[in-house]
Structure 1
Amino acid sequence: METIASCMPLCGDLESGAVEEAQTRKIEDYRPGYPRYTALLAAHTPYILCRRFSKLRARLLLLKQDRLSVLEERLEEIDQAERSPLFLGKSRCDKNLERISLLSKIESQLADYGTNQFASSTYQMLSLNPAEQRDVESLQNWLDGNGCLAKEESAYLAHCGELVSLAPTRDSAILQLENWVETRLIRLWRNFRKSRFHNMSNDPNVYIHSGQLIQRIAKALLLLLITILLLMPVVVCSIINTTSVRIAIVMVSTISYLLVLSSLTKSRTMELILAGAT
């Protein structure tokens, strides 16, 4: 029985850490359920996705902020009602037990609200790279075909907008080209998934690429594209003698180069400015 007959195949690079185990066990060798699903995730680390829970984090952040605001207002009231100016100017002599207790509570609340715990963890979670739509669709296809995980517990994949990847960051330009090359090879080369490549699954609809063919083709295409964008204007300008046309060619080629650069990479504004100036 085919597992994902009408869905897109799973695609990706086999991680080096799973190569040794992949040579002895297939994904289907694990029992249905979390054992089999986690074996799939371990085979390709970009499949290890999780939710940011941005809405819940924002809610808790607002609550913690409001609690501190209330404590801050209470501290100001205590200071305004203080009858001994010495207590306000010399903390060592402060005998106001209510203020001392309140400051202790504020300190604990700030430790939870500030960089020690909640704020830093929220910052780290929001800094993670968004999950690739390709990886999310692959996991959804696999789950729809196997049905070995409860729908309620696999529903996290439906929150595409807040899914993040825990895998190490890769060059976005190379990654996009690899995905493009892989898709074309799968569609145009019928035996691409059967010959010359190791597959971790017995399911003919599940494919995890482990070779270097895709990486080499993607790098070659990237180098070819960069060479064309950089050298083609030089060749054209050497043929044309009109100054105004040369200026127009330089402008068009620079704009084209920056557009391609911004679409393939996550370039910052200053990096684009430096690239255009160069």
Structure 2
Amino acid sequence: MGDPKPKALETDVEKALPPTPIPLSPSVAQSALRSSEGTLSNQSTRNMLDEDDSDEDIFTPPQNSCRIRGWCNALLLKPSYKRPFRRIIRKLEKCESGYPYLATFLDSDENFMIFRRFGFLHTRLLLRTQDELRIMEKELDQMDQRDNFQNIKLLQCRVDDDLRKDQVPETRESLLSRIEPTLLKYDQLLLNSQQLAAANRPPQRDYNSVANFIYHKKPLLQGDDDFIYRKEDLITLRPGRESAWLDAAVEKLLKLFPRGAVKYIFCSKETAAKTRDPDLFLPTKSRVDGLVSFLIMAMVLTLLVVPVYALYHVSTKINNDSLENSNAICIAILLVSTLMFSAALALFTRAKRHELLGAAAAYCALLVVFIANIGDSRLSP
């Protein structure tokens, strides 16, 4: 028999143990939970009121100011995030050799998107499909001529023509069904060939850049890189711009300056991160376009201001004895200015001939009116 447990020890153990939970019904538990939540909410409300009463220096912005701030951010197009998104850039030096390396280089700049249009293959497919349609067209003509002499009603009623399926080896409906897919394929091929033929040819500068890269870096084996040497069959995916040659001239001029300063000004972070090759210069298109637009605006202002100033200077600095000489000088200034204005329109825009003539006539008329007004003011006492 074991020794009985002391009563004092039992009492201490019972005090130390947590009380045994009493099982409650679901309805009673839900009511108790609601009452506890209400008590906590009332208590938190009292604490907040006590804190507001005690701390009077704390400023809480009203809801109207928050709404106004949100409206201002929406109008100013401010992003709602604080940190910029992560940028994923495909770097040229980290690409695998071969076709991935060449594809990364061609995708790094829109000027390098040069591919073959396969004009010879398109022409061969067009000729083959054209001949297939010619044969089927001849069969249809023979069928029409035969029915025209034997039974003309078959040409006048399509239902009667379809009912003679068992009498002839091929009806007109089956022949047309055979023509339709071939004709649609021919139309699609013809339109695609037209678009490729109208595509822009790569400028010499862009072609030299891609050809030099393939020749020196040798990303492909001999034979796979033969496409770049078929210059007459190459097209560029870059859209044609009105001042493409001026862009090329600006980029060529930027290469004369220190490369670090030029990259800092004309290359964004994304563009500069594409490659670390010192021989590759990849300017950001938007920044180069901004410089080109500034140059064009400066040229336009020069063509408008300089002739007017020259005409005013010549007209005001002459005497009555040299009136004939001044008229000759004004006419010379007028002709030279109009010629330069017309040349600028032809070089920097894609204006048609009648648009060039209209713009040149308007510019010349503007200068003539200015000369006439100066002459009237000079002759007036």
Q: Give the TM-score, by structure 2 length.
A: 0.58
Following superposition, the deviation at residue 93 of structure 1 comes to: 1.3
Of structures 1 and 2, the larger Rg is shown by 2
Q: Tell me the alpha carbon deviations over residues 164-222 of structure 1, each in whole angstroms, 9 at most, x when there is no partner.
A: 2223x25331x322321221221344655676653532332222224866444322222
Aligned residue in 2 for 1:77: 142
Following superposition, the deviation at residue 236 of structure 1 comes to: 3.2
Aligned residue in 2 for 1:47: 112
2:178 is the alignment partner of 1:109: no
Listed as ranges, the gaps of 5+ residues in structure 2 are 1-85, 316-325, 363-381
CA distance in 1: counterparts of 2:142 and 2:232, whole angstroms: 44
Change in CA separation of 1:137 and 1:85 when aligned onto 2, cut-off 3 Å? same
CA distance in 2: counterparts of 1:265 and 1:162, whole angstroms: 27
Specify the SS of the correspondent of 2:351. coil
Give yes or no for contact 1:201–1:207 (8 Å, CA) kept in 2.
no
2:271 is the alignment partner of 1:187: no
Report the residue type matching 2:101 in the other structure: R
CA distance in 2: counterparts of 1:181 and 1:161, whole angstroms: 26
Following superposition, the deviation at residue 247 of structure 1 comes to: 4.5
Aligned-residue RMSD, C-alpha:
2.9
Structure possessing the higher relative contact order (Cα contacts under 8 Å, 6 or more residues apart): 1
Aligned residue in 1 for 2:132: 67
Following superposition, the deviation at residue 138 of structure 1 comes to: 1.0
CA distance in 2: counterparts of 1:246 and 1:58, whole angstroms: 58
Specify the SS of the correspondent of 1:130. coil
Following superposition, the deviation at residue 251 of structure 1 comes to: 3.9
2:102 is the alignment partner of 1:26: no
Specify the SS of the correspondent of 1:164. strand
Report the residue type matching 1:180 in the other structure: A
Q: Tell me the number of residue pairs that the alignment of Structure 1 and Structure 2 aligns.
A: 254
Alignment of 1:156-175 (within 5 A): 156-167=227-238, 169=239, 171-173=241-243, 175=244
CA distance in 2: counterparts of 1:232 and 1:62, whole angstroms: 59
Alignment of 1:242-253 (within 5 A): 242-243=326-327, 246-253=330-337
Which of 325, 333, 349 is the matching residue for 1:265?
Answer: 349
Which of 128, 131, 138 is the matching residue for 2:209?
Answer: 138
Q: Give the TM-score, by structure 1 length.
A: 0.77
Report the residue type matching 2:113 in the other structure: I
CA distance in 1: counterparts of 2:95 and 2:138, whole angstroms: 59
CA distance in 2: counterparts of 1:135 and 1:33, whole angstroms: 21
CA distance in 1: counterparts of 2:181 and 2:215, whole angstroms: 47
Aligned residue in 2 for 1:220: 294
